[in-house]
Structure 1
């Protein structure tokens, strides 16, 4: 008897396995493993449709088109809420998918790996892997050229490698090499293999010493290739991701907090800037956000084409008072490359950064749409130093866009909290100070924590303010800006960097200094800085007007029941570039280097669980089938004798027998009895079973099944198990399940 397997199933499984192994490269640029399960489902769906198409003898093109349609269905079912019947891609669902993929493209363009695997990125990864799986399946199974698919799998590695500024995890290269080796082995003998081939030959080809050698060599080559790709990477950008010509700002759309999270969640501290000439610690602003989206949080909106940034710059919009100390600062980018050029304070002159940079006085943003290398630049700036009394007395029209007062999407309970906290504040400045104090006072329960999930819209805002009270600067800045608008103060969220630490006559700014804060508008004085994040590591650089209000020299005891006492003074950085230790009595922030990082364990465990599930699947199918038949026979269901006979035949198939389809039941029974040597009770029960089967098949319909049939079946099975017990392999991989087509004995 020959145990055979369908070789098209083997190559299909190998193709899917190789794509999943290559997909592990995304672990180097995605900060968590939420993308793994959707990606596995998408690739398995492509493989299943391929098997179906070949079973039904579809043309190659029809199979590939159906697989692509399957990818679309999987994306719709997993990432949209407006699918027809929950899975079908109607117009609304297609539009929803388009929005997700557009958002993913923005994250790729602006994010700093590793970035959180948000739904938009999950959808993009699943789409890419789904298309790759279709093409690999076509090449490997349809065209029988598995080696050619290696170029496509290498591209899957090249994309994450070009986005990451460090080498991808070593285990991803090993996984990719192993997947490619199995793929080569599954089709390496296709010129000799038939559509059905001996199981032992297939097993030896897939898992023999040759394949192991190829897997090892492929792993080494992949590791070396990964090093090369990392060395020539594009520092977090896909080549050509930013237009080469400046053409307006309609195309600038991003989820800017993604870049901030990427900086804070890096596994190591990376130097970004060296600054000369900065007299006092001041925040370095990269961009500002004015729109609160109740579904996604704060977003960039209203960026104009502005004015040419190289040269003298106008005062910010709505600002009349440009008095203050003038400083000349030299900024040397080291590990920074982005379309947003960070600036200190109120910039009045810029030079040296290259061409096609624009300055928008309304938002205070310097930006470009030209993909160019970072250059050292010089900034002349003014650092206004209004006193608390001057800001209390700021009066006049609000000469800023009305969108800075828009409260759409802010939950009512948040607005009520803002009103309660500022009830006793007579001026807008006092209201802003009261709201800032609410977050920084440790007695109100807020804690700085990088491990908290990223904030989103209105629900996340309420969750943070009233229940969680844990987060990093994004949550604090987002919440305070919403509270300010709720009491009629124009506000926006600023994203950039704290002033870093001093190193000789320079200040060094690193990825650990990535930060978000709040800017509130005061007539005449323009946008002023507030920072509600309760940092205690010396990085906070509060302006004097705010520091003097939060940390007065003599602090009176707060009235009973008051919820807004002031916070302890913030420590300054120590000389020599050292950051002070956290005060033991204060709330220690989470160390960015100890935050969640991309690591192999979630994916490894997921792959192992999937592998174990796949290994257990044939045995589970066989057990379910056996129980169903035994239950039907015991209950005297119609066709019980035929079901009992099928169960006996499957037991013999599991032992390597494959009766010919042309043999009668008696011929099959005689051959099986001779081959396995059943004892007397088993042989007698087998003859009784054959009689029951013949009576059921050939007697007039309507007869009752024999009452002794269940006992007869159990006697045959028990005798067979005594005479020829199954080994572990046959129990895990029953031939009756894995052999899908007829084969002569």
Structure 2
């Protein structure tokens, strides 16, 4: 088997194994056979091309064409666009990015993600083949497969299992084994004696296996040991929402990422149950999203306080409607957010918990906080926020403590969202009636509840939902009402949690499909008040304090939700009640990334890795350029001979070999003794040319100086180990041979210091 064939097979195995490290990202395994096919195709083209003696550039070009054709063929088979083939391909990649941004890992199947993963594996196959065969740097072959491993390793909030790293290490070992066999084949066949017979292929294989094992086994063992002994840093990074507790920053997950996944579960099942002394069930609130920008509704940075006794509900000055005690039992539901009735006053739950005194969220802070709620039972004391209808109708928008977040409108909010909010509320006189008008508009027959639209509340998604498609689920309904409430001057935020569930003989049961989002609006004296814009067929009736003719307090028949009963305000009044959009002061708010895949963070890490690699490659690239200039056929014969001699001397210095002093003839004789017959003769001839170039009056020769030099260079480096080759390529000592590494005299202060008793 040729060395190039062996290398192609090694690259194929290494890339195929590294492609499996992407499995934690997706539930769709169909990318694996496609990735295997493109890997085989790329490496097969490389092997055949080198058998046909094609140049490395030509081989790379053919491999690139094969990869592009394969990717385009997959895109054509996947379909998904009607505006042309190129638009179809671009649409698949764009939808893949959006799917990864909005879905938690492992992501559900998606055609664009499949195409993207196969493309990534194909590119890695091409790059690995270039490193191993194109530039003959097999030790560097770890870099491209490592990028595939880093995507889930850096992007997922949970630590990867051991097996992806083992697959990566085994693939690298195969490449090193192939290089070891190739290097062993280059040893002279005639070397041997009666006690040490000539090496055969089996001996070569044994040597190569031991060499690969000496590199890979210690690396795996050291990695396992370091990972076990050393504490890992927190996963707080760019784009993460953090709360600071007693032990430092915590990364908060994005609660909206579980919404659509839970709502579209193929089988509904109970996730928790509760018993309460209240007259009805209760919304169980988990998280609050106060930040709104072009990326949608997001969490904000919060300051967590340890304890289980929460402060009074923000902004509530009147007596609450009632207090209630709730006993909650959670099953196989894992979250760092504790589901609680709003507004909770205290709770008793096992584990480590902390709360935010602004939003009244409670989060786990222990080691396994992402599973803090699993199989947890706890008791909650809370008050019901049920405003009296007439009092709410007269209430003005208040100013919450986090008004810089909850009352701010981004300056680039689309005009169609603003126009829709103003049109819907133009006949409502008070802020509460405006809010009720927005709720009634969204609950009307003009809108359809559907989980088919893409998840998210970006500008484009909300504008499409409000003006054009008008199809969505609770995330779009809640997000739309919250942003339109800000347009008409009411602070707002989006809450995520669970609907009250279904009544049973022993209490209430909440299923996975009861996960829900709703808006909370802030009114003076009432604090944060819940509204329900999602259609009645999903959530039941809206809160009684928002429905026409109802009254939660019982003293009046004027409900807050009677927008038709009030006369239309004048134009001046309408304009006065509409705030001037101001930039959202959310510089301290960091977007949650635990469920959504943090591509920015991965790209930054890969960018740093590539930057460091590029920096380390600078000396080697300079050294390659120097060699190319020295071996150039141009110039006078004397110059070519001197350049060749200097290249041999520097190569010996780079590879740690001896280059003695003395005349060129004596140097040639000494160095040639360690070379094989062919390179030794070439070195002897070259040394004679150097002497004639330096001391003869004229130098006329038909010798191929460059050819002699290359033959000697090949002989000097033929038997180097892979690590010696790597060190010589990355850090060529000859490049720094003329640099004086000494401290200037003015800084050598220690030479002027006289110690007591030591001077005369």
Give TM-score, length-normalised by structure 1.
0.49
